[in-house]
Amino acid sequence: MPPDADVQGTIRNLIRRLRFDHGEMTQQELAVRVGVTRQTIIALEAGKYVPSLLLAFRLARAFGVSVEGVFQYHDGEPSSSAVKVQDGK
């Protein structure tokens, strides 16, 4: 087990802002574009769900940005809209 295996971090995303920056794209439009249900977009925006790498790339491509342009990893205390992740799990 690596020494930092218990380090907790959070993943935040800019999906909501990117949607509005792209002509006020609706959640449904984005969902259809990336091949998920609207509920999944809602969960993503609410920070309740961390997508797979494949979906992360699809989202990034839908907005024409890199994955880091959509998702950011932060060390330390989580905010209410960020999803907690634990390294190695």
Give contact residues for another protein (rule: CB under 8 A): 27, 31-32, 35-40, 42-43, 45-46, 48-49, 51-52, 54-55
Q: Which is nearer to another protein, 7 or 84 (CB)?
A: 84
Shortest distance in whole angstroms from residue 3 CB to another protein: 29
Shortest distance in whole angstroms from residue 79 CB to another protein: 15
Token pair for residue 25? Answer: 């794209």
Radius of gyration of the CA atoms of the chain, in A: 14
Residue 59, classified by CB atoms within 10 Å of its CB into exposed (0-12), middle (13-18) or buried (19+), is buried
Shortest distance in whole angstroms from residue 76 CB to another protein: 23
Residue appearing with tokens 């509005």: 20
